[in-house]
Amino acid sequence: MAIAMITGASAGLGLEFAWQLATARHDVILVARDAGRLERLALQLRAAAGIQVEVLPADLSVPEEVARVAERLQDRSRPVGLLVNNAGFGLGGTFIGSDLVEQLRALDVMVRAVMVLSHAALEPMVERERGAILNVSSIAALTAGGTYSAHKAWVRTFTEGLAVELSGTGVTATALCPGLVHTEFHERAGLEYSELPELAWLNADQVVAAALADVRRGVVISTPSLRYAVASGLARVLPRKVIRAVSGGLAKRDASGEQAASADDEAASADASGD
């Protein structure tokens, strides 16, 4: 039975990944900051799916704790077959005038930790000639929405580079790039999108199911739903001047009265929404 590690597993897309992988009879390793939430989830998954669950509390903004998670990925005795790099959090408001400590924390969680954990997971996977990395990016990677967009653009490009390197090894790399997803992500980030039509939103269960299906097929860029696939295509061909203008309009709206998100990477599990 393959083992899957999910970061940011206690809420949002991470929670949905945990449930879908468990019900598919995969043993799971749950990584997040809140040990209590992870332990409760572990009890539920064991009871519902009859699988083995490891709980690994860690703050992925702390290098020493990332190293501890990486050490588990290097363990050949119970190898991890799928790594889901999902942890992250949103930052409301603008970069100018923001809390630099919080900005750096976001960089550590959504960029540095993804690099370190991917590096740790890939060596044993390549040795076994099987395995997969699933990195949660976003359609925001194609916009100009501040540091969150920059982080997600890095994740997308990094994953594409991994896919090139991994060709022919039996190991795959997939970047998940959904749009707006119904989770607690936006509320945590202080972002208000209640005026958007329901058509703009995706459900977490559909996003995760599509992502896992794409991983099984070895798809490199996974964009759930036709409407966001079309939006992504447009974003790639529109002049960057237009993208910047649209992103600037959204940023001005979001900047009114918003506060930076609480630095709770697992509870604000990266749903990679379009923000």
In the chain, the domains with their CATH numbers are 3-255 (3.40.50.720)
State yes or no: pLDDT of 187 exceeds 80. no
Long-range pairs of 61-64 with CB within 8 A, sequence gap ≥ 24: 61/105, 61/108, 61/109, 61/113, 61/263, 61/265, 62/108, 63/108, 63/112
Encoded amino acid at 129, one letter: E
pTM: 0.83
Count Cβ neighbours within 10 Å for each residue of 30-51 and write b for 16 or more, e otherwise: bbbbbeebbeebbeebeeebeb
pLDDT at 197: 41
pLDDT tens by residue, 137-167: 999 888 888 899 999 999 999 999 999 999 9
- Which DSSP helix (H) or strand (E) runs through 134? strand 131-136
The one catalytic residue among 17, 19, 148, 154: 148
d(CA 118, CA 233): 27
Distances (CA, A) of 55 to 1, 25, 44, 275: 18, 17, 13, 30
pLDDT tens by residue, 67-114: 999 999 999 999 999 999 999 998 878 899 999 999 999 999 999 999
Give the pLDDT band of residue 253 (cuts 50, 70, 90).
low
Q: Kindly report the backbone phi and psi dihedral angles of residue 3, in degrees, each rounded to the nearest multiple of 5, phi listed first.
A: -105, 135
- Is there a catalytic annotation at residue 148? yes
Report whether 135 contacts 17 (CB < 8 A): no
DSSP H helical ranges for the chain: 12-23, 35-49, 63-73, 100-107, 113-128, 146-166, 185-189, 204-217, 226-237, 240-255
